[in-house]
Amino acid sequence: MRTFGILANCDKPTAPETLRRIERKAAALGLRLVVCGRAGQHVPSAETVPEEAIGHSADALMVLGGDGTMLRAVRVLQGAQTPIIGVNLGSLGFLASVTQEKVEDALDCIVEGRCSIQERAVADGIVMRDGREISRYRAVNDMVIDRGASSRIVSLHLTIDEAEVIDSQCDGLILATPTGSTGHNLSAGGPVIHPASAVFVITLICPHALSVRPIVVPDSRRIAVDIARCSGDIRLAVDGQTGEALRAGDRIEFSRSGAGARFIMLPGSNYFSILRQKLHLRGSSV
């Protein structure tokens, strides 16, 4: 890997200095840099390309920001298989796992081949209305059907491979990938899923029932949710960043995308140590 793309959240206070450090280290290693957006103001030696071209212009993409910037980067790639490494300038940093203090070490590891690439599943979501497709989305973390600001519950009908699973009155539904299982799904009572697992987890939000529990299903299944009834606003939110309004009668079809995301993992990276560090996973103290 000799050409590195950079996508940065330049609103982060430490972004300009981190970008300058990357520029200096890249020069020392003889690397070519390609940037998009405002990052070019802080890396004058780099070539600036449109955001939509960044994935096809680099061997790897370095993403500076928080987890939201990582999610945006995967969306910008639009299925391109450029591997991504995240430099955490935010707070949680569950996906952007490299601290800004270690950015030079990260470049050394990648150039020397002391890293691995982890494949992450991406979910496709298709919104159907009146029997035709009206929109299509990709999600690294999750797709959420939510009643938003409305105080009215919604009625959802869940099928898997056309088999009826649940008819529920609830506040919404989360379909999460293994990567996204530690996000909204976890807060709603869903399980943590290891990112290597080939599954989705479906979690209802505040179901009006005693017996409903999250469901883990192989990601090869055809999953569909029909909006049976809604009296107020209801939306589809994709990775918490994009989406659209839904209405009664809409159907959302979920499946695993044929083009996933590829994350660069540095030596010593361990999913369970990240759980312990970031989410305070602990055993009994007795």
Tokens at 161, concatenated: 């491979």
Distance CA 94, CA 70 (A): 10
What is the rounded distance in angstroms from the CA atom of residue 117 to the CA atom of residue 109?
12
Domains for the chain: give ranges and CATH numbers: 3-120+260-279 (3.40.50.10330), 123-256 (2.60.200.30)
User: For 227-286, what is each residue's pLDDT tens digit?
Assistant: 998 877 899 999 999 999 999 999 999 999 999 999 999 888 888 888 888 787 776 666
pLDDT tens string 262-276 = 999 988 888 888 888
Q: What share of the chain is helix, strand, coil (3-state, %, to 5)?
A: 25, 40, 40
Contacts of 26 (CB under 8 A, 6+ apart): 4, 32, 33, 107
Q: What confidence tens digit (pLDDT) does each residue in 15-39 have?
A: 999 999 999 999 999 999 999 999 9
Per the annotation, the verdict on 67 as an active-site residue is yes
Q: Which residues contact 262 (CB under 8 A, 6 or more apart)?
A: 81, 82, 83, 84, 117, 118, 119, 120
For residues 193 and 176, what is the distance between their CA atoms, to the nearest angstrom? 9
Which listed residue (67, 171, 226, 250) is catalytic?
67
Name 184's Cβ contacts closer than 8 Å, sequence gap at least 6.
141, 142, 144, 174, 176, 240
Q: In one letter, which amino acid is 243?
A: G
Q: What pTM was computed for the model?
A: 0.91
